[in-house]
């Protein structure tokens, strides 16, 4: 019997866990605030909610607006990284894998690390990943959307991308610093539109949970990356996917996870499955307040933890 079958959970149980998680999420979301960092995101109704779980055994369950597409923002960094690693398995030489408590938009952290991004999820690292993926694919949005399941389930929102382009001076500054120190391949005026369009990809929680299953089933028939690379990606997710709150998330929940300022949170339980939440209000760390609470409740009830 395959090892993944030892932990099979019924869809009825998954639905019960999701209902309890939604109650917890709604309470937590009331204390958060929708991101104003990107003007187009500030218009999103803070009461919207969706959650989906997919298991390596084929079970799925969902609740709320589970087919509604939302702006995945930094969740795209995970899929862009995996798309890059398909082309360039040793891309870790260009971007590190260690945690950082300096904030995802820090320029000082770049200087302290000799101009090599600390990991692929801080903004400097994500820019390097996008830059190298662009070199290999010619279109980072298309390469990322392919991993999400194709254009029928995911696409970039031009309005959100334009909103980011007009207001995101921080990433422009980071790109110039990276270029100054020889860390970029493409011209900045080519890279930044690709990066903003990549962050503006929209997808549903069901699409994201399904698309990330290869990270939970590294030895199965969903293989996108080799098992060793999957292990490394999950390790970096655990250490760095939730930025400065990564240690707290590891302590409270114990799952590799990635967040985005659009209100999405995606978590992986190796050998078991994936769970994705969308709840727009963010906490003080910039993670979805309701999303983190929902995944914590789900993981507790389902017994999901890597520890």
CA 17 to chain centre: 22
Query: Domain segments of the chain: what residues?
Result: 3-68+204-227+240-302, 75-201
DSSP codes, 61-104: EEEESTT--EE-TTHHHHHHHHHHHHH-TTGGGTS------S-T
pLDDT band at 100 (very low <50, low <70, confident <90, very high): confident
Mean of the pLDDT values across residues 288-305? 97
- Name the nearest CA neighbour of 298 among 6, 63, 82, 98: 63
**Residues of each annotated binding site for substrate:** 74, 123, 164, 171, 195, 243
**Residues of each annotated binding site:** 74, 123, 164, 171, 195, 243
Torsion angles phi and psi, residue 176, rounded to 5: -65, -40
Kindly report, residue by residue over 218-274, the tens digit of the pLDDT. Answer: 777 778 999 999 999 999 999 999 988 999 999 999 999 999 999 999 999 999 999
Torsion angles phi and psi, residue 203, rounded to 5: -160, 165
Percent of all residues in the chain with a pLDDT value above 70, rounded to a whole number: 97
Torsion angles phi and psi, residue 118, rounded to 5: -65, -40
Q: Is 136 left (phi over 0), alpha (psi -120 to 50) or beta?
A: alpha
Same fold, 3-68+204-227+240-302 and 75-201: yes
Kindly report, residue by residue over 38-91, the tens digit of the pLDDT. Answer: 999 999 999 999 999 999 999 999 999 999 999 999 999 999 999 999 999 999
pTM of the model: 0.94
The CATH code belonging to domain 3-68+204-227+240-302 is 3.40.710.10
3-state secondary structure of 55: strand
Report the distance separating Cα 165 and Cα 73, nearest Å.
13
Query: Superfamily assignment of 75-201 in CATH?
Result: DD-peptidase/beta-lactamase superfamily (3.40.710.10)
């Amino acid at each position: 019997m395959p090892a993944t079958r030892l932990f099979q959970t019924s869809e009825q149980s998954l639905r019960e866990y999701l209902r309890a998680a939604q109650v917890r999420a709604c309470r937590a979301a009331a204390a958060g605030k929708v991101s104003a960092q990107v003007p187009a995101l500030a218009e999103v109704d803070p009461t919207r909610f969706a959650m989906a779980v997919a298991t390596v055994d084929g079970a799925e369950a969902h609740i709320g607006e589970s087919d509604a597409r939302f702006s995945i923002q930094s969740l795209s960094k995970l899929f862009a990284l995996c798309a890059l690693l398909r082309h360039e398995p040793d891309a870790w030489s260009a971007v590190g894998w260690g945690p950082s408590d300096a904030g995802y938009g820090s320029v000082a952290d770049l200087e302290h690390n000799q101009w090599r991004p600390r990991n692929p999820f801080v903004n400097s690292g994500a820019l390097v990943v996008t830059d190298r993926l662009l070199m290999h694919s010619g279109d980072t949005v298309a390469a990322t959307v392919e991993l999400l399941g194709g254009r029928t389930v995911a696409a970039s929102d031009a309005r959100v991308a334009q909103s980011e382009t007009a207001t995101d001076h921080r990433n422009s500054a980071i790109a110039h610093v990276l270029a100054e120190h020889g860390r970029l391949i493409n011209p900045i005026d080519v890279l930044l539109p690709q990066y903003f369009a990549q962050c503006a990809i929209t997808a549903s929680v069901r699409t994201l949970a399904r698309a990330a299953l290869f990270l939970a089933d590294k030895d199965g028939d969903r293989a996108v990356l080799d098992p060793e690379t999957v292990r490394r990606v999950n390790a970096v997710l655990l250490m760095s996917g939730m930025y400065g709150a990564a240690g707290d998330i590891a302590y409270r929940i114990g799952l590799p996870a990635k967040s985005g300022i659009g209100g999405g949170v995606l978590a992986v339980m190796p050998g078991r499955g994936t769970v994705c939440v969308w709840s727009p209000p963010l906490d003080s760390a910039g993670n979805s307040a309701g999303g983190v609470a929902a995944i914590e409740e789900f993981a507790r009830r389902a017994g999901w933890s890597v520890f």
